[in-house]
Amino acid sequence: MTHPARENCADILCIGAQKASTSWLHHVLNAHPDTYSFPNMDPVTSTNKEAHYWDWNHKRGPDWYRGLMTPPDPKQRAMDFTPEYSMLSDAQIADCKALNPSARVIYVLRDPLARAVSALRMHVLWRTKGKGKDAAEIAFDDTFLKLLQEARVFDMSSYVANYQRWARKYDDILVLNYEDILTDPEGIIARVYAHVGLSIDDMPPEARAEFDIRMAKRVWASTPYPVRSDVLYFLHGLLWPKRQAAEAHFKMRFKEFEDVLRAAI
């Protein structure tokens, strides 16, 4: 099947990080009539947000990806918000650049410890299918060590290295701090809309009303499985260098870990 020629398959790429409000960001952007989200094809894709082309679906080929991402209206900007893309190799990012040469790239960073805890809770939810909601506890055992690898906690938290690989191909990446989303969502969304070339003020009244509703909505919240203190302090030590490196490189501060440690059981 052939598809209309477009410069990019995806016009807007959000490369992560996982558990850093990328779902909320996608939801708010998708209120604009000039954005496009592909139809969900579970389990091929993850909702209408994550195409997973370079990890799950690369074998399907570029024509499949282009077909998935092609909007019905040529003026619409297609979006692919797959957090696993932050960990792509140089070769995979080069492949991405070939398919999306002028895509606008967004990278949301979150305190490594807080992000890791949220990601581990998400993986526990997947493993238990939600049935262990009251009993499940993340303890320092073999299951935790498997979860750590399964969630790729160390790689997902390597913000500087991940950014530098992407910056070799994309020279204007918008880097955001998750904590700023919590404290100033309007300011962050204004920066995002400007970065991708959209205007909030030009939205039709119906779309603007939906935008306002979505701004106040929380799209995804992790099930608060208890996490033992030895797990928290292990993760704190493991990820401390990642936090320091990100703060120095991006000139931002993370404070969320302080609340996580205060809640240690």
What pLDDT score does 135 carry? Answer: 60
For the chain, the domains span 12-262
Q: Is the pLDDT of residue 219 over 80?
A: no
Output the CA torsion 233→234→235→241 (10° steps): 100
Strand ordering across the sheet containing 174-177 = 35-36, 77-81, 12-14, 104-109, 174-177
Class of domain 12-262: alpha beta
Mean pLDDT rounded to a whole number for the chain: 93
Which amino acid type is present at position 59?
Answer: K
What pLDDT score does 220 carry? Answer: 66
Cα distances from 55 to residues 59, 67, 85, in angstroms, run 9, 17, 8
Q: Whole-prediction pTM value?
A: 0.94
Summarize pLDDT for 3-46 with one digit per residue, the tens.
557 999 999 999 999 999 999 999 999 999 999 999 999 889 98
Pick the range with the lowest mean pLDDT from 2-6, 68-72, 86-90, 234-238: 2-6
What pLDDT score does 1 carry? Answer: 46
